[in-house]
Amino acid sequence: MTLRSDQDVLAYLDQLEKEAKALKNEALQICWYMRGSISYDQSMLLGAQDREIIAKIIKENLETTKKSGLPFF
């Protein structure tokens, strides 16, 4: 990415900030759904593919819980 102006730099920094916030949100969701079996530090060290797989498993478990009527919490 070639930055040509101050506005380009600010836009790029804004994009990075949004990506960082999304990553933190995803990591904290994993921690919550894993009920503490994965710490925040551990979740931040997960690769993108690992986070994607865990998110898919969480989604599947939520759907199964809804279908079965069993309590999730």
pLDDT the model gives residue 17? 97
pLDDT the model gives residue 4? 83
- Considering Cα of 41, then 45, then 48, then 51, what sign does the dihedral take? negative
pLDDT the model gives residue 73? 61
Distance (Å, rounded) from C-alpha 18 to C-alpha 45? 18
Instruction: Render 46-64 in DSSP notation, one character per residue.
Output: S-HHHHHHHHHHHHHHHHH
Distance (Å, rounded) from C-alpha 39 to C-alpha 58? 16
On whether the pTM is more than 0.95, the answer is no
pLDDT per residue as tens, the chain (73 positions)? 666 888 888 999 999 999 999 999 999 999 998 888 999 999 999 999 999 999 999 899 889 988 888 876 6
